[in-house]
Structure 1
């Protein structure tokens, strides 16, 4: 009989296998949502065919947080928007007169825009 009891304890008893300690979900985070946001989450998790906790966990772990704009970037955006406005005005002028008269101004504006774009890319690569 002792051998049967030992054999039973070694047999797989069924159920889900235990996870290693590092993979066990032992920490919880409390998050509050408005009623509208909560209903939006419920609709999205139903569409994804996931439980609400699974959907929130996957969304939090698989998404990338976009960093806020720095003051330096904001000034670049303003400058770029101003140049875009100037370029628009030059395009209107070229339609009213001829492109030959405004081509020099367009080339100057384009060079400035490209310089700002390159500066932004270099800054992004340096921070990324």
Structure 2
């Protein structure tokens, strides 16, 4: 079965040639890869969208790791505050929880590096 025909308004018949430096080409390829688009589609979206298509270097997975690390640093600050106030009860369990979280993140980061 054949693909349905596009409407005449949707058919792309015009072509523009753009000359890029090696650095510009590599940048376009990287950004397209980060956006999970072909280079052509990324360039088209970058040219005709109202917002910039410059994407951050972080992936959703790295953002999740960052969020976990921020939470852990908050926990460490709370533990430090309790220690400075002279409250030693339940500190050991909080330290063990933080240590467990650190070990999990370390394993995830090691697995992430090995997957690359």
Give the TM interval when normalised to the shorter protein.
Answer: 0.3 to 0.5
TM-score, length-scaled by structure 2: 0.47
Bigger proportion of residues as helix: 1
Relative contact order, higher structure (CA 8 A, sep 6+): 1
TM-score, length-scaled by structure 1: 0.43
Greater Cα radius of gyration, structure 1 or 2: 1
